[in-house]
Amino acid sequence: MNSIVPKSYLKVFCLSLLTLIISCKKDIKTQPKNALLQEWQGPYGGVPAFDTMDVKDIQEAVETGMELNLTEIEAIANSTEPATFENTIAAMERSGAELDRVFSYYGIMSANMSSPEFRKVQADLAPKLSEFSSKINQNRALFDRIKTVYEAALVTPLDADQQRVVELTYNSFAMRGAELNADKKARYAAIDKELSTLYNTFSDNVLHDEENYVTYLNADQLDGLSDGFIKSAAAIASDKGTEGSYAITNTRSSMDPFLTYSTNRDLRKQVWTNYYARGDNGDDYDNNNIIAQILKLRRERVELLGHKNYAEWRLQDRMAKTPENALALMEAVWPASIARVHEEVADMQAVANTNGDNITIEPWDYRFYAEKVRVAKYDLNSDEVKQYLQLDKLRDAMFYVAGRLFNYEFTPVPEGSVPVFQEDVNVWEVTDKDSGAHIGLWYLDPYARQGKRSGAWATTYRSHTTFDGKKTVLASNNSNFVKPAEGEALLVSWDDATTFFHEFGHALHFFSSNVKYPTLNGGVRDYTEFQSQLLERWLSTDEVINQFLVHYKTGAVIPQELVAKIKKAATFNQGFGTTEYLASALMDMKLHLADPENIDIDAFERQTLADLKMPTELPMRHRTPHFGHVFSGEGYATAYYGYMWADVLTADAAEAFQEAPGGFYDKEVAERLVKYLFEPRNSMDPAEAYRLFRGRDAEKEALMRDRGFPVN
């Protein structure tokens, strides 16, 4: 039967249909088809879909994310409403959610799971990402609104956290050329674009040399190496298609133990040379010319802003404030550092002479003979210590420390409940021990693999904020331990155990964040290493030693006499550790203070080391051609000194615990630690935060005492 629909009903139906269509369009916009842009689903407030990420999606995702973010920025910049904190600064804090999600995947593909296919995409995206940043940093209308809010806040201050966000935002834009004229802005953006390509090429060149310089051993060349190391080397060689041989890869985790224990001096020299020549082999992957170009472009860019050199520009918002202050600290420590090296070399040469080895100590001998001196002077054998340093037990020790200081509990998530990007990655939920409140997830990616950058680092996939609803933390620690053979325990050196604790300190800094605005989760470069360096100190506490340093076969607790030897030797080899680091930090600063016109990087490096009277028996920790901290981006450029700046804070803060009744687990000092040094992140000036913790500024004499150097 036919019926007639009244016009009023038809109008309602059409309006309803139109509303549905608009709603669908909105859903399509907020949930793009590209998987990497989509909101995270699942438990724990949503988690990255690492198990479904595909390199073929990354370029479209990044480009779409940039477009969406620029649309948001344009809307803020071109608003007809008077500029306020809420419609300008807070709106900027809300923007870029899609791109932030994409960068979590991008970071994994770049650092943990790189491939030739991804590197091509990365090379293509580098200049586009630079252009994207320039479009925001040089948006005059946007900066005018930021400046309006900033100047109003100088007259009528906002809440403390809002005031800090406004200041950080304004200074960031001003430092990046927001007030330049049109011609200078164009040149500034062009320089940034060119640099982005150079940084990417630099990183690719280093990774090429790490992947392609492998030393293969036969069964007659294994003398001195531990069974665990030999089994791992055999497994790596097998994975590389050379069954029956043993692979020493061109990474620190493989190089360091080989140089320490191998009795074959010629092979030690070969492995040492491969490692320290990364990026410096005079071939298509040589980085010397790239570094010269980077230095020249950096100088030109800051000159547009009226600065004499890159270091002056970069340090203005750091704790050091000026390159002169940073150099003063390094140069105060340098003489004692190299004097200690000469003492160490003399001890090593004496051992070599006594053994009738008929050699003069060279850089590829330092670790080998230092170990012999350690045994002779302290009756301490590093390989013996390693029997009590199992990676799994060290992880449990870190959880214990986090429980005592931060009241955190770490529980493995149910298998399959959280996607991971590689089968060796494991995930734990972090909760408050008393309330059970969810704090975040901790991802651990411990092993070296093809396509994974060297070293150890921490990162976040999602940071804590209480802005527009509380967001919990997704953080990760990443290492490059040589994966043990099936069924074998992973035993590590004391130095590697210390690094493991160090990077976990970064993770605890992420988890303990108590800030409202995303920008405040950032940090000041010469301060952010402090918290992680401080956490290293808990490795040698009695509570950790007696519970977690147990023999990998017998389960017996490390003997007290061995612990006593470890503590007695705490300042052993400090000349080597301090000098190899400081040489790199000084080189970083001096390169950026030098005139970059026609600079010869190799000659500059040699002359600078000669001027410093660098001992010839050891190299810089990072030689210039593979100094990724400084030349694969700008995070640590003229800021590598920051580790020593943070070391002063670390040594001084450690003395606060040593002086307390409860030692390193003193409840009152731990509460101040969390409240002033971890929770605030960048929501207050770091110097003021430290004074609130300690009651005064840090004293550099604490560093000298800590390293066993003379205190003037």
Domain hosting 682: range is 288-384+572-706
Shared domain for 66 and 171, answered yes or no, is yes
Q: What does each C-alpha distance from 553 to 335, 340, 492, 539 come to in angstroms?
A: 44, 37, 15, 21
Q: What is the tally of structural domains in the chain?
A: 3
Predicted local confidence at residue 613, as pLDDT:
98
Q: Are 195 and 637 in contact (CB under 8 A)?
A: no
Strand-pair category, 215-217 with 426-432: unpaired
Categorise residue 54: left if φ over 0, alpha if ψ from -120 to 50, beta otherwise.
beta
- Tokens 């969390």 belong to 674
d(CA 529, CA 511): 15
CA–CA dist 247, 254 (Å, integer): 9
Q: How many CA atoms lie within 13 A of 213 on its CB side?
A: 24
In a domain, 425, yes or no: no
Instruction: Establish if 546 belongs to a structural domain.
Output: no
Do the Cβ atoms of 679 and 513 come closer than 8 Å?
Answer: yes
Identity of the residue numbered 130: S
d(CA 420, CA 51): 6
| DSSP percent split of the chain into helix, strand, coil, nearest 5 | 60, 5, 30
Indicate the residue among 245, 276, 307 that finishes a domain: 276
Q: Where are the beta strands (DSSP E) in 296-425?
A: 408-412
Helices 574-593, 288-304: crossing angle, 10 deg rounding: 60
Q: What are 170-179's pLDDT values in tens digits?
A: 999 999 999 9
Q: Residue 55 is inside which H or E element, if any?
A: helix 55-77
| pLDDT on residue 32 | 61
Q: Which two tokens stand for residue 225?
A: 């190496």
Using CA atoms, how far apart are residues 452 and 192, in angstroms rounded to an integer?
A: 26
- Structural domain includes residue 7: no
- Whether the CB-CB separation of 259 and 368 falls below 8 Å is answered with yes
Token match 């390509």: residue? 197
Nearest to 575 by CA among 419, 387, 342: 342
Q: What are phi and psi of 390, to 5 degrees?
A: -90, 135
CATH code: domain of residue 110: 1.10.1370.40
Structure tokens belonging to residue 663? 């030692």
673/640 same-domain check: yes
- Return the bridge partners of 47, or none: 41
CA–CA gap between residue 621 and residue 623 (Å, rounded): 6
Cβ atoms of 341 and 348 closer than 8 Å: no
* Residue 474 DSSP SS3: strand
Of 224, 219, 271, 227, residue with least CA distance to 249: 271
d(CA 579, CA 574) in angstroms, rounded, equals 8
Classify residue 561: in a domain, yes or no.
no
Query: Residue holding tokens 């490692």?
Result: 275
* Rounded CA Rg of the chain: 27
End-to-end CA distance of the chain: 105
Greatest extent of the chain over all pairs of C-alpha atoms, in Å = 112
pLDDT of amino acid 33: 82
For residues 545, 546, 548 and 554, what is the CA-based torsion angle, rounded to 10 degrees?
Answer: 120
Which DSSP state fits 49? -
Taking CA atoms, 160 is separated from 165, 173, 666, 689, in Å, by: 9, 20, 30, 14
CATH code, domain with 698: 1.10.1370.10
In this structure, the dihedral spanned by the alpha carbons of residues 319, 687, 401 and 701, taken in order and rounded to 10 degrees, is 80
Pair 368, 348: CB distance under 8 Å: no
User: Alpha-carbon distance 315 to 638, whole Å?
Assistant: 8
Residue with tokens 């010869």: 600
Q: Is 603 part of any domain?
A: yes
Domain co-membership, 114 together with 253: no
Distance from C-alpha of 313 to C-alpha of 317, rounded to nearest angstrom: 9
- Looking at residue 470, its pLDDT comes to 87
Q: What number of other Cβ atoms are within 10 A of residue 678's Cβ?
A: 23
On whether both 167 and 65 belong to a single domain, the answer is: yes
Retrieve residue 481's tokens: 């331990």
Shared-domain flag, residues 578 and 678: yes
Angle between helices 288-304 and 601-612 (to 10 degrees): 80
Residue 583 lies in a domain: yes
Q: In whole angstroms, what is the distance from residue 17 CA to residue 11 CA?
A: 10
Domain identity same for 253 and 113: no
> Looking at the structure, do residues 143 and 105 belong to the same domain, yes or no?
yes
- 337-340, long-range: CB < 8 A, 24+ apart: 337/574, 337/575, 337/578, 337/579, 337/582, 337/709, 338/575, 338/579, 338/612, 338/613, 338/614, 338/615, 339/575, 340/574, 340/575, 340/578, 340/579, 340/708, 340/709
Instruction: Tell me whether residue 49 is in a domain.
Output: yes
Last residue within a domain, chosen from 276, 296, 324: 276
Q: Does 379 lie in the same domain as 317?
A: yes
Which tokens go with 576? 């080597």
> Is residue 295 domain-shared with residue 352, that is, in the same domain?
yes
| Cβ neighbours of 306 (radius 10 Å) | 9
Same domain? For 48 and 173 the reply is yes
| 252 shares a domain with 159 | no
Sheet arrangement for strand 426-432: 408-412, 426-432, 438-447, 473-481, 457-462
pLDDT of residue 692: 98
Boundary (domain end) residue, out of 127, 159, 179: 179
**Letter for the amino acid at 405?**
L
HSE-up (13 A, CA, CB side) for residue 297: 22
Q: What pLDDT is stored for residue 200 in this prediction?
A: 95
Task: Provide the pLDDT for residue 31.
Answer: 53
Parts of the chain with a pLDDT under 70: 1-32
The phi-psi region of residue 432 (left if phi > 0; otherwise alpha if psi is between -120 and 50; otherwise beta) is beta
Q: Supply the pLDDT for residue 525.
A: 83
Within a domain: residue 472?
Answer: no
Token pair, residue 368, equals 């080998």
- Cα–Cα separations (whole angstroms), residue 324 to 473, 526, 698: 38, 14, 18
Strand runs labelled E in 463-503: 473-481
Contact predicate 139/189, CB 8 Å: no
Cβ proximity of 376 and 354 under 8 Å:
no
Same domain, 584 and 657: yes
- CA-CA distance, 246 to 240, in Å (whole number)? 10
Which residues neighbour 186 within 8 Å (Cβ) at sequence distance 6 or greater?
none
Q: Do 449 and 421 touch, CB atoms closer than 8 A?
A: no
**Of 585, 571, 589, the residue nearest 704 (C-alpha):** 571
